[in-house]
Structure 1
C-alpha cells in the first residue's frame, strides 16, 4: 500500500511538472487569436547620453476591418493580420517559436529606411525568464528576451546594441522594450491594451 501511495504521488508530481513546462512554452499567435477592435498603445522615448531627446511619442495599433478581412493599423499603414501571423521561414527570425526559457537563436534583419538608407542587424537572442511583469497597461505573464549584437547602415553607422523585449502572450505583443545603441537609449512601454468582449 505504501508503495502504491508513493507511486501515485510520483505520478501526480510528474503531471504537475509536465503542466508547468507546457505553460511556460508559447506558440505563435494565429489569425483566430485576434479580435476586431483590439487595440494597443505604447509610449516611447529615445534619449542620447547627453540628454538630447530624439524621439518622444505614442504608437497605436488596432485591429480593423479591411475589406472583409482583419487588418492591423501600424502608423499610416494597414497590414493584413494574415501577414503578421505568417510563420517566419528564415533561419534567423525575430521570435523563434515556440518561446521557452533558455532558448537561444540568431536574429538577422536587413532593412531600407524611407530616406533610402540601408542597414542590417545581427544579434544573438536568448529567452531569460517567464514571469509576471508590470507596465502601465497592467500586469502580464511575459517572456524576457535579450538581444545582443550590432547594427550597421550604408551611411557608416556601426554600433553595438543590446535590446530587452518583454513579450506577453496574452496581448500577442511586446509590453516593454529597452534598447541601448551606442550613445542612444530607447524605452517603449505598453500603456493601454483593449480586447473587445
Structure 2
C-alpha cells in the first residue's frame, strides 16, 4: 500500500514539473498549429493568434501546476477534506480545458471580406466588412530618435474603433489592406 502511495506521489510530482516547464513552452508550440488546422481559410491576407491567448494559456497551465503542487503538499485527514480537495483539482482541470478551448478560438483573420476577430470569451467571430470601415490610421511612435509604426486603428461607420498592434504578419498584410481600402476610396493615414 505504501509503495502505491509513493508511486502516486512521484507521478504527481512529475506531472507538476512537466506542467510547470511546459507552461512556458507549450502555448507557443501548440496554439497556432491547432488554430491553423481548425480555422485557417484557403485565402487570407492575415491569419494570426491574438497574442494575449499565449499568455492566458501559459497562466492557466501555471495555475494548474500550482494547484496540483498544493494538492500534493496538503493531505486532508477527513473524507470530506479529500472530497473538497478532489473537487478543487477536478475543477482546475476543467478550467484549464475551458481556457485552452477559448485560447484556440481567439484568433484574427483579414481577408477580402474584411476583419474577422474571435474575442476570447466567444465562440463566434465578429466580422467587420470593408464597407463598415471609414478610416484607417497608422500610429507611429518615436523612440530613441527613430520613428516606428505602432498600431493600425480601424474606425467604423458607427464611430467605434478596432486597434491592431503592427506585428510582422500585419505589416506584411498592409499592402493588401491598402488594396481593399483603395477600392473604397480610402488609404492608411499616418499619425505621429
Taking structure 2 as the reference length, what is the TM-score of the superposition? 0.26
Flag the structure with higher strand content. 1
Taking structure 1 as the reference length, what is the TM-score of the superposition? 0.25
Structure scoring higher RCO (CA < 8 A, sep ≥ 6) equals: 1
Flag the structure with higher helix content. 2
